[in-house]
Amino acid sequence: MPNLSPLRSADMSLRREVMRGKERLAATSFILQRSRSSDPINGIWDAADVQWWWRRPRVTDELELPVWLDDQGPVAAVGLSAWGQTWQTDAFVASADISLEEVWNETITAAHNFSAHSLRLITPEKNTTLIDLALASGFLLSDEISGTTWLEIVNRPRVNPVSGFRIIDRSAQTKEAHPMIGRNGELVEQRLKECSLYDPTLDLAIEDSDGKVAGYALFWFDPVTATGMLEPLRVEENYQRRGLATLLIATGLERLAQKGARRVKVGFESESAAHLYFKAGFVQTSVDRLLTWSSHS
């Protein structure tokens, strides 16, 4: 039986439940859809992000973590996601009816209860409330900076084919091994298919004339928010600087437009990636900061 307890917050009755695995993934996706529906570009994460994180098994998948629900469904959740030995902390909140501080405190409590030794948090630097909460919890602000960009779909670039290469997707290429196996493990396609927003027609690869995969890109479409996302994008080293990344981006954006996306998000961690997205018409909306915590510090 689920562990339910009554909770009063901001004069509204919420209930607190613990969830794990796919149930928690679905609840977190719902919360992020609610957040995105209320603000078209604010916030660093979307439902597609947590579903992308599901692509490989993690030790945090089956942890029982708190989720808060109101009459509409999940409204806040603790997020712990293992990235190697470091666990990412997230306090997902979609309503002012529950405080960010309350969810963050439960996130840190859960991380310590499950004996996490190294934690990280990525957040827009304008989210000073969350940064202050993290600093008060012993996190340190690092020098690592990344960014979030958005594109209004009407401003998408034209698709210009590159001679000697063709785009394929997983709906038409089911017999060959998934191109992301090498970096994400043999279960990547199975895990992606467990995600409600995964669409094989948006799972793109680019092949040369010999049928060798030169790169890939995975686009996500959320019909609830009319939002698209690009994650990941990669062109193999021997094929770089031939316009293949530009072709993958333009093709994916065109397919997202056909599905009804109004805007598309992509994050970046390097100047070269930022330049590529800016060239395609994306506009940076957030400077994102990394905070870290270690039990040894």
- Going by C-alpha positions, the residue among 240, 249, 190 that lies closest to residue 219 is 249
In this structure, the answer to whether residues 168 and 70 fall within a common structural domain is no
The pLDDT of 190-207, averaged and rounded, is 98
Residues 179 and 140 reside in one and the same domain: no
Q: Are residues 215 and 274 in the same domain?
A: yes
Flag whether pLDDT at 213 surpasses 70. yes
169 and 43, same structural domain? no
For residues 130 and 213, membership in a common domain is answered with: no
The average confidence (pLDDT) of the chain is 94
- β-strand pairing of 263-268 with 227-235: parallel
Based on the fold, state whether residues 215 and 87 are members of the same structural domain: no
pLDDT(11) > 70: no
> Do 169 and 212 share a domain, yes or no?
yes
Q: Are residues 191 and 271 in the same domain?
A: yes
Say which residues have a Cβ less than 8 Å from residue 174's Cβ, sequence separation at least 6: none
As for how many domains the chain has, the answer is 2
Let me know whether 56 and 158 are in one domain.
no
Owning domain of residue 275: 150-287
Establish how many alpha carbons lie within 13 A of residue 248's alpha carbon, considering only the half-sphere containing its beta carbon.
31
* 131 and 202 both lie in a single domain: no
Helix (H) or strand (E) holding 249: helix 244-259
pLDDT 10s digits, 140-172: 999 999 999 999 999 999 999 999 999 999 998
What is the tens place of the pLDDT at every residue in 32-50? 999 999 999 889 999 999 9
For residue 209, give Cα distances in angstroms to 34, 165, 178, 205. Answer: 44, 6, 18, 13
Is 25 found in the same domain as 136?
yes
What is the domain-level CATH number for residue 235?
A: 3.40.630.30
pLDDT reported for residue 12: 59
172 and 133 part of one domain: no
Quick one: pLDDT band at residue 175, thresholds 50, 70, 90?
Answer: confident
